[in-house]
């Protein structure tokens, strides 16, 4: 009986230990899908269903903020009863090892494929012009693999002409004197997209050619003259700290050949843009070249 008792004891111990190990073994963590033999993410623009590179801001979507929503695909991401998208967090890491939180807007199963989930995240302004970034998600304390995603970079300056703000035949030409760097447009046709939220205004004074960058109630934007510069020159984009509270910043003189840095900052925008004055018809119009750039903050 002693041998039988000992055997039973060891059998019970083995079974108990196995059950204990099984109970303590964590469930597989979330895994984001990548292209075959690659670390590049399987990801799509949630509105257009196109692959990267994708811009942070675009007029080609259905959201009023025009921020790109990125759909990532993964496994081991089933939500428990009572959980919603807030159970999942996401972050991005850029080439300078800076990390940024991404807002997770939805997490749901892909009906046609068992075990596959799609996660929709909103790209933040801080990733504008970032190029390659690494994205990961975390669910119930377990963090996924990092996958590579490319944020579109504006490599060449674009041109725009702004009319000086005036009353013409009794009508304010405000929409022709302003410009949106976010969407790359101005004029009446752009109103439905910009919702009259512009990034720069030219010629608000009747006798001096100036740029103004604070036009809306929550505007904390700043502009700085970098002096005479060409796009081919070697220079660093300076950090321009926004106003701590909404402020009406004074206009800055418009000078041909000068480069300006604009830090657009309000409740839903945080973007840097370089602007060069190419031509000036005094008190009538200005032609600029401009390019969105990555924020120099945190260098």
- The reply to whether 72 falls in a domain is yes
List, for residues 32-80, the tens digit of each pLDDT value. Answer: 999 999 999 999 999 999 999 999 999 888 888 899 999 999 999 999 9
Q: Which domain holds residue 98?
A: 31-151
**How many Cβ atoms are within 10 Å of 166's Cβ, its own excluded?**
16
Structural domain total, the chain: 2
206 and 285 in one domain?
A: yes
Q: Tell whether the model's pLDDT for residue 4 goes beyond 80.
A: no
Residues 64 and 110 in one domain: yes
pLDDT per position as a tens digit, 91-146: 999 998 999 999 999 999 998 888 999 999 999 999 999 999 999 999 999 999 99
Edge-first strand order for the sheet with 269-281 is: 158-163, 285-293, 269-281, 258-266, 222-228
Domain contains 147: yes
Which of the listed residues 125, 151, 177 is the one where a domain comes to its end?
151
- Residue 243: helix, strand or coil by DSSP? coil
Residue 117 in any domain: the answer is: yes
What are 248's two structure tokens?
A: 């009406």
């Amino acid at each position: 009986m002693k041998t039988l008792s000992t055997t039973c004891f060891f059998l019970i111990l083995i079974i108990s230990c196995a059950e204990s190990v099984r109970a303590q073994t964590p469930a597989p963590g979330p895994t984001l899908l990548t292209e075959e033999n690659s670390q590049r993410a399987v990801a799509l623009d949630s509105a257009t269903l196109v692959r990267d590179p994708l811009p942070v801001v675009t007029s080609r979507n259905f959201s009023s903020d025009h921020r790109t929503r990125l759909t990532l695909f993964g496994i081991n991401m089933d939500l428990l009863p009572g959980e919603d998208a807030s159970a999942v967090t996401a972050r991005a890491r850029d080439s300078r090892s800076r990390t940024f939180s991404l807002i997770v807007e939805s997490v749901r199963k892909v009906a046609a494929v068992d075990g596959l989930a799609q996660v929709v995240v909103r790209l933040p302004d801080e990733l504008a012009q970032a190029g390659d970034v690494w994205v990961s998600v975390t669910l119930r304390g377990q963090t996924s693999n990092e996958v590579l995603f490319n944020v579109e970079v504006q490599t060449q300056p674009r041109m725009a002409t702004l009319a000086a703000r005036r009353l013409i035949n009794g009508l304010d030409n405000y929409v022709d004197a302003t410009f949106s760097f976010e969407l790359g447009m101005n004029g009446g046709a752009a109103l439905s997209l910009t919702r009259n939220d512009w990034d720069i205004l030219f010629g608000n004074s009747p006798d001096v050619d100036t740029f103004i960058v604070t036009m809306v109630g929550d505007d904390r934007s700043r502009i700085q003259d970098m002096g005479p510069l060409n796009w081919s020159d070697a220079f660093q984009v300076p950090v321009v700290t926004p106003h701590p509270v909404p402020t009406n910043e004074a206009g800055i003189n418009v000078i041909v050949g000068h480069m300006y840095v604009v830090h657009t900052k309000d409740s839903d925008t945080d973007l840097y843009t370089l602007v060069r004055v190419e031509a000036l018809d005094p008190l009538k119009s200005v032609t600029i070249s401009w390019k969105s750039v990555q924020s120099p903050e945190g260098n």
